[in-house]
Structure 1
Amino acid sequence: MKSRVRPFLKMQAVIGACVLLPFVSPLPGQAQSLFTLRGGPSIHPGVIRSQALGHMAQSTPLDLAVSLPVQNQSALTSLLQQIYDPQSPNYHHYLTTEEFNKTFAPTEAQYGAVIDYLKAHGFTVNATYGNRMVVDVRGPIASVERTFHVHMLVYQHPTEDRTFFGPDAEPALDQAVPILGVTGLDNFEPPHSNAHIAPAVMQSNAGSGPSGQFVAYDFRAAYCPKVTLDGAGQTIALFQFGSYFPSDIATYCTQTGLPPANVTEVLLDGVSGSPASGDNTLEQSLDIEMEHSMAPGANILFYTGSNAADIWNRIASDNIAKQVSSSWSVSPPPSTLNQILQQMAAQGQSVFNASGDSGYSASPFGWDDNAYMTSVGGTNLSTASGGGTWSSEDGWSGSGGYISPNFAIPSWQQGISMTANGGSTTQRNCPDVSMVATNIWATWSNGASGGVLGTSAASPLWAGFMALVNQQAAQHGLGTAGFINPAVYALGKGANYSTYFSDITTGNNGKPAVAGYDLVTGWGSPKGQPLIDSLAGVANYSFAANENQTVSFSAPVDVAYGANSSFFYKYAVSGSFTFNNTTFGGDPIFGVAKAGYSKPFAKSVSEGNSATFYQPIEAAYGASGHYFFNWGVSGPVTFTNAAWGGDPIANVAKSGYYMPYMLCAGENGAVTFSSPTDLAYGANGHYFYRHQFTGTITFNNATFGDPLSGSVKWGFYRPSH
C-alpha cells in the first residue's frame, strides 16, 4: 500500500501560523462577474467536502505556483501525434526548448500581464521560468483571498488525524488574465512516496545482496545481460521532495561495486538540500541507487522542491535530462501538468512514473494516469542463480493498476482486447510496463540499510534503461527515443512482442495478469538489447527477420542487420531480401546472433497524382516489390510513368512513397560524414543536393549555392545506398 510521508515542514509552518477565526462575510467584489480559471479545478475535491474549523490568519504567507495556458494547444496536440507517428515526415523531429517557447509558450505580454496582476494584488514574485508557463509567487492569505475570491480555511481531514488548509471554493478572477491553474492552495494530499521498508527474507535464485536481495548489477544481469552500454553521456532527472545523505549513496556504491554516482541537486522553492538528522530519506536514496544500478555511467539531476508544478516545469524548461523518473504521487492541477508533459514529449524527453503500491484501484492517486507518462508497475523477479540472468517473473500484488477517470483511451492503446484483463476500451489503462518491485536492498537515512519494496524501484530502473537506449541512439547519430508509449504499444501489439518484452502471465493485484497487456504489469519487463535496438539502436526500425531468414517487402523499406549496437544498413530495398552476412557484404559483429530490421517508406499518393514536399526526401514509385527510386527530390513530385521515365511494373496500379532526409545542421553549420552520404541544403521545398559525399562539409551558399534567396536555410542528410 502507499505510505504517507511526514508532511513537509513548510506545510506544518503554514498551519502552525493559522489563527482559527470566526467565518467571515463574503469577500468584497464577490457580487461582480468573475472569471473561472482556464484549466478547470485547482484544488483537491476532498477539500470542500471536509469540515471547516476556522479561518487562516490574514498575515500568514503562502507560496503558490500560478500557471498560464500554452498557445496553439490544438497545433501542439497535432504536432505530438506527428512526432510519434513513424509514417509522418515529422517523426522524431523534436523541438528545441527555444523552438517550443517561440511557438507554444505563453507570450511575453501574457506572462507580464499575469505577473503585473499578481503584484497589484499584493504578491511578490519568487521565480520565473523560460517557458513562461509558471510564475512562483508569495503573498499573505489576505492577498490570496482578494486575488482568487475565496476564503482560506483550516479543515479537519476526513480520514486522517490531522488538519489541512484550503479554500472554500475554486479560485476565480476579477479580470480575464490568462491563468490556467494555481498549485499550492491546499495541502489536502501531501506527496506520497511509493517506497516501503520490507523485512529481509532469505531467497535463492534471486539477488547477490544480503539475504538474496537484488542490488546494483543484479538488475542489469536480469534485464540487459551482455549489454555493454552504461548510460555514458546521458542525464537522468529525478523528481523529488526532500533530500538525501550523500554518504548513503557512497556506501551503497562501495558495498555493491558500483562506481561513484555523479549526482547534482537542483534546489527549488527555497529548499535547503540538506536533510536533517532523523529524516526518512528512503525514497530519495532508493531512486538514486536504482537509476545508478541500471545506468552507472549516466549523470543524475536531483530536482527537489516543495511545489510539484515548479519541479516538473523546471525539468521541462531545462531540457537537460532526456529520461525522467518520479516515484511520488501528488496532485498539481491536471491541466498544468498535462501541458508541461506535452512540452517534454515535444522535446524528446521520456517520463516514467511509479504506478503505486495499492494494487488495483478504481481511482488513481494524483497524476498517476496521465497519458504523457509511462506508468511503471511492479513484479516479483526470479533469476537463474544468485545475481544471475532472468528466469521468471510474476505480477506483484501491490502493483498499481487502474482505469483512468480523467483521460480517454489514447490512440496507441486502442486495438487491444480488454476482455481477459478487465481493462477499458474507452479510458486510459495503467500501467504500461513493469520491472522488479520486491526483494530489493537499499541504503538510506544516514546509515540505515535493508530490504525495501515498491514501484518506487521500478520507475527509476526504467529511466536507467532509457539512458542505455538513448546512449545507443547517440552513438548512431540519432535523436532520443522520447515518449515511448506509442512505440511500446506498437511492439506489444506486433507479431514479435516476445522478442522485446517478458510477458508476465501470473499474479494478481485485484485484476489478473494475463497473456499480453494487463492491469498488473502492462506489457511486462524489458528484454535488454532487442528492445534497446528497437527503441533506438537501429533508428527505430521494426524487427523483420532473424539471421539468414528471407522476407519479401511489397513496399520500399530501409533495412538494418546486426546486434548490440553494431549494424550494417541498406537503403531503398524492395522485393525478396535475405538478412545475412553475404547480402550486407560482411559481418557487423562477429560471433553474435544477428537480426534484421526494416523501416518502411511512407505512402504518399496513388498513381497519376502529385504531392508537394517541403523537406528533402528520397522518393519511390511502383508496386509489389518493383520500384523506381529518386535519391533526392523536393517541392512538387508527380507519380506517373511519364514523370519517372518508365513503368516499374506493367499493368499494376502503382503508388508514390517517400523517406524524409534528416536535419543535421543550421545554415553555416559544419558536419563530418565518415561514409558516402546524400546531402541537401535549403528550405521550404527548395534544395540543392550533393550525392555520395564523404568528409567534412559546411552547409552554406558558398558550398552549395543559394537555393532560396532571402530565407534561412538548413542542412539535411540521407545515408546513400
Structure 2
Amino acid sequence: MVESVKQAALVQQGWSVARTPALEETVTLQVALTLTDEEKLFQKLRDVSDPKSKEYGKYLDRDDVNAIIKPSDEANNAVVSWLKESGASYVHSDGTWVTFQTTVGKANELLEADFVQYQRDGVNKVRTTSYSVPAEIAQHIDFIHPTTFFGKTAAFNPVLIPRQPIPVPRPGKHWYEKRQTASCRQSITPGCLKAFYNVGNYTADPKAGSKIGFGSFLNESARYEDLRLYEQRFKIPSQNFTKIFVNNATDDQSTSSTSAGEANLDVQNIIGIAAPLPVYEFLTAGSPPFIPDLDLPTAANNSNEPYVPYYQFLVSKKNSELPQVISNSYGEPEHTVPYQYARRTCTLAAVLGLRGISVLESSGDTGIGSGCKANDGTNRTQFNPIFPATCPYITAVGGTESAYPEVAWEDSSGGFSYYFPRPWYQYYHVQDYLETGISNATLKYYAPYFNRYGRGFPDVAAHSLHPNYEVFVNNRLRASGGTSAAAPVWAGLIGLLNDARIRAGLPTLGFLNPWLYGDNDKFLVDITAGSAIGCDGINHQTGFKFEGAGIVPWASWNGTVGWDPATGLGIPDFQKMLKNVVADEK
C-alpha cells in the first residue's frame, strides 16, 4: 500500500520520555477532514470586512459558511470506513472531525507511528514524532491529533506583583494628557483606561444586543466573588457574567484556586471598560468529545491543545448565540505548533470574521523571543513569533507601558510569522516599516533571524504594565498586567463600538484588520518610543535565565512612525473611532 507521510516533528525542548505505554492501553485521536473551498472563504471575508467594498458588513451565518467549506461526503465516508475497517472503536463524525479510540498498539500500526508518553513540568502527553496514512486517505485529511503537537499552551501569565510607582516620562502633547490624574501614575484602574483611551461619558445599552466574550483554557476560571469586589472598589454597578462550558471544562470558585489570575484579569478589564454590556466566558478543557484514556484519565487533567476545539465550538453556534467580539490571552511559539494545526485554527478564526465576529489575541509577553531557537533540527537561532497572534485573520494586541506618553513595553511580543504570508490589508504598512522604519544595517543584521515576508504582528496595542493593573484574585487586590490585559481592554472598546453601531442600525465591526489598517491615522495614536526586546537568554515571563536559548545581541523592535512590530498601528482613541464607525458612515 502506498503511504503518504502527513506529519513529522522533533521532540521539543523541555520534553523527555517518561515511559513506553503498554500496547493495550487506549488513546483517543481526532482526524481533521479537509475543508472544501478555503479560498472562497477568504475572498468573501475580504469582501465583507473591507469598508471600501460594496459587500461590507453583509455577514453570513453558520449554515451559509458551512455550505462553502464543509468537507465532502466522500472525504467523511472514506475516513470513517478506513477507521472502522482498521478496528478503531467509538468512531464518531460530525462532518468535519472524526473522533476515534484505539489501543496504542493499533494506533502505532494504523499510523506507522511510535506513541510514547512524554513529560514536561509535571504534564504528561502521549505523542509520536511522525505518522503516515494511506495515500487514498491522505487527500481527505489535514492532520490527526494529538500526535506531533507537544505544545505548552498557557495563558500569558499575568504579572502578580506588589504595586509600586515608576518614574514618569516627561509629559508629551497627547490628547489624553489633560485627562490623566496622579493616581494613574501608581496603578491602572477602569477610570485610568477610560481616560487614556478617551471613552468619555459613553454609556452602552445592555439590551441593544452587543455582547463580549473571552476564552479561558486549561482549567482557568474567573471568580464571581473577585468580580464583585472589583465592582465594589471601582463603583461599577453590579453585573455578573455567563459561563459557557466547552468539552467538560471545570469551574473552580474556591479561594485556593491557582487558575484564576488570567480569567479574572480578562473579565474585570472587560467589565471595567464596557459595563453594562453582557459578558461571556468560554471555559475550554481540550479536545471533544472527552473520553478518559491513557493520556487523560480524567477531564480535570485534560491538557490537550485547546485552540481547534475552542474555535470549532464557536463556529458550531449560530450568530445569535455568540458575542460579536471575543478576546483570548493564550499562545505559544509558532514553530511549536504543527503547520496544519495552526492553519486550521486560523481558518476557523476567518470563519468567525465572515460571520461578523471580531477575534482578538494578546500578542504575548516574551518580546522578540525567549528560547530563540528553531525546532526543525538545525538548532539555528531565530526570533520566535507567537501563535495564534500570527494568524492574519485575528487582531493581535501588543503592549505599551508608562502613563503619558505611552511607549512600547519591552516584553510585548511582536515580529513576523514563518507560517503565514503578509496579508493584503497590511502589505504597504509593513513594507514601509521595512524600508523606512528600520535601518538597512539593522535589517541586514536581523535577516537570518526572521521572515521579512511573513504576517507582521501585533496590529494594535494598549497599556500592559508599569504602572500595573489593579485586579482582584482570590479575594485579594493584586497588581497585574501584560498583553493579557491589553487584549480584553481592546475587546471592551470594540464591544462599545458595536453597541453604537447596532443602535444606529449598522452591522457590527466583524474582522477588524482591514478597517484598522485602512483608517488608522483617523483614530489611532501612533507609539513612536520604546522598544520590545528579547533573544537575550532570559525568559521574559519568569525573569529567569533560559538555558540553551539562542542569543541575538541588541535585538529589539523599536516603536517608530507608522506600523511597527512593537505596538502595531498604535493605541485607540475611542471618541474618534466612534465618529469613524457611526457618524462618518451615515
Unaligned runs of 5+ in 1: 1-31, 383-390, 542-559, 561-721
Task: State the partner residue of 1:680.
Answer: none
Residue 34 (1) aligns with residue 3 (2): yes
Q: 1:500 aligns with which of 523, 527, 530?
A: 523
Residue 537 (1) aligns with residue 582 (2): yes
CA offset at residue 403 of structure 1? 1.2
Q: Using the alignment, how far apart are the partners of 1:186 and 1:269 within structure 2?
A: 21
Q: Give yes or no for contact 2:4–2:135 (8 Å, CA) kept in 1.
A: yes
> Against the structure 1 CA distance between its residues 258 and 68, is the aligned structure 2 distance closer, same or farther, given a 3 Å change threshold?
farther
Q: Using the alignment, how far apart are the partners of 2:10 and 2:579 within structure 1?
A: 44
Task: State the partner residue of 2:479.
Answer: 451
Q: Using the alignment, how far apart are the partners of 1:367 and 1:481 within structure 2?
A: 21
CA offset at residue 360 of structure 1? 1.9
CA offset at residue 378 of structure 1? 0.5
Task: State the partner residue of 1:314.
Answer: 313
Q: Give yes or no for contact 2:3–2:132 (8 Å, CA) kept in 1.
A: no
Task: State the partner residue of 2:88.
Answer: 122
Task: State the partner residue of 2:376.
Answer: none
Higher helix share: 2
Alignment map for 1:591-670 (pairs within 5 Å): none
Alignment map for 1:263-342 (pairs within 5 Å): 263-274=241-252, 277-307=256-286, 308=306, 309-318=308-317, 319=319, 320-330=322-332, 331=337, 333-342=341-350
The AA in structure 2 aligned to 1:235 is K
CA offset at residue 154 of structure 1? 2.9
Alignment map for 1:327-406 (pairs within 5 Å): 327-330=329-332, 331=337, 333-361=341-369, 362-382=383-403, 391-406=404-419
Q: 2:147 aligns with which of 170, 185, 208?
A: 185
| TM-score normalized with structure 2 length | 0.76
Which moved further from structure 2: 139-148 or 301-310? 139-148
The residue matched to 1:469 in structure 2 has which SS?
helix
Q: 1:166 aligns with which of 127, 145, 168?
A: 127
The residue matched to 2:281 in structure 1 has which SS?
strand
Q: Give yes or no for contact 1:55–1:151 (8 Å, CA) kept in 2.
A: no
> Against the structure 1 CA distance between its residues 284 and 207, is the aligned structure 2 distance closer, same or farther, given a 3 Å change threshold?
farther
Q: Using the alignment, how far apart are the partners of 1:185 and 1:399 within structure 2?
A: 31
> Against the structure 1 CA distance between its residues 224 and 142, is the aligned structure 2 distance closer, same or farther, given a 3 Å change threshold?
farther
Q: 2:195 aligns with which of 208, 211, 221?
A: 221
> Against the structure 1 CA distance between its residues 266 and 163, is the aligned structure 2 distance closer, same or farther, given a 3 Å change threshold?
closer
Task: State the partner residue of 1:465.
Answer: 493
> Against the structure 1 CA distance between its residues 181 and 237, is the aligned structure 2 distance closer, same or farther, given a 3 Å change threshold?
farther
The residue matched to 1:514 in structure 2 has which SS?
coil
Larger Rg belongs to: 1
Higher strand share: 1
> Against the structure 1 CA distance between its residues 518 and 299, is the aligned structure 2 distance closer, same or farther, given a 3 Å change threshold?
same
The AA in structure 2 aligned to 1:406 is Y
Q: Using the alignment, how far apart are the partners of 2:184 and 2:502 within structure 1?
A: 37
CA offset at residue 113 of structure 1? 4.8
> Against the structure 1 CA distance between its residues 168 and 202, is the aligned structure 2 distance closer, same or farther, given a 3 Å change threshold?
closer
Task: State the partner residue of 1:589.
Answer: none
CA RMSD of aligned residues (A): 3.0
The AA in structure 2 aligned to 1:372 is Y
The AA in structure 1 aligned to 2:419 is N
CA offset at residue 529 of structure 1? 1.7
> Against the structure 1 CA distance between its residues 48 and 285, is the aligned structure 2 distance closer, same or farther, given a 3 Å change threshold?
closer
Q: Give yes or no for contact 1:354–1:376 (8 Å, CA) kept in 2.
A: yes
> Against the structure 1 CA distance between its residues 50 and 227, is the aligned structure 2 distance closer, same or farther, given a 3 Å change threshold?
same
CA offset at residue 322 of structure 1? 1.3
Which moved further from structure 2: 51-60 or 452-461? 51-60
> Against the structure 1 CA distance between its residues 451 and 87, is the aligned structure 2 distance closer, same or farther, given a 3 Å change threshold?
closer
Deviations 1:7-46 (A, max 9, x none): xxxxxxxxxxxxxxxxxxxxxxxxx322444xxx4x7654
> Against the structure 1 CA distance between its residues 222 and 405, is the aligned structure 2 distance closer, same or farther, given a 3 Å change threshold?
same
CA offset at residue 63 of structure 1? 4.2
Alignment map for 1:575-594 (pairs within 5 Å): none
> Against the structure 1 CA distance between its residues 80 and 360, is the aligned structure 2 distance closer, same or farther, given a 3 Å change threshold?
same
RCO (CA 8 Å, sep 6+): is it higher in 1 or 2? 2
Task: State the partner residue of 2:505.
Answer: 477
Q: Using the alignment, how far apart are the partners of 1:245 and 1:275 within structure 2?
A: 5
> Against the structure 1 CA distance between its residues 266 and 154, is the aligned structure 2 distance closer, same or farther, given a 3 Å change threshold?
same
> Against the structure 1 CA distance between its residues 224 and 118, is the aligned structure 2 distance closer, same or farther, given a 3 Å change threshold?
farther
Q: Give yes or no for contact 1:197–1:453 (8 Å, CA) kept in 2.
A: yes
The AA in structure 2 aligned to 1:336 is R
Q: Using the alignment, how far apart are the partners of 1:284 and 1:89 within structure 2?
A: 39
The AA in structure 2 aligned to 1:431 is P
The AA in structure 1 aligned to 2:54 is P
The residue matched to 1:415 in structure 2 has which SS?
helix
The residue matched to 2:250 in structure 1 has which SS?
coil
The AA in structure 2 aligned to 1:525 is I
Task: State the partner residue of 2:461.
Answer: 434
The AA in structure 2 aligned to 1:240 is S
CA offset at residue 474 of structure 1? 0.7
CA offset at residue 520 of structure 1? 0.9
CA offset at residue 482 of structure 1? 0.9
The AA in structure 2 aligned to 1:314 is F
> Against the structure 1 CA distance between its residues 478 and 33, is the aligned structure 2 distance closer, same or farther, given a 3 Å change threshold?
same
CA offset at residue 137 of structure 1? 4.6
Name the count of aligned residue pairs.
487
| TM-score normalized with structure 1 length | 0.62
CA offset at residue 399 of structure 1? 0.8
Deviations 1:589-623 (A, max 9, x none): xxxxxxxxxxxxxxxxxxxxxxxxxxxxxxxxxxx
Q: Give yes or no for contact 2:390–2:455 (8 Å, CA) kept in 1.
A: yes
> What is the aligned-residue identity percentage?
21
CA offset at residue 511 of structure 1? 1.2
Residue 240 (1) aligns with residue 203 (2): no
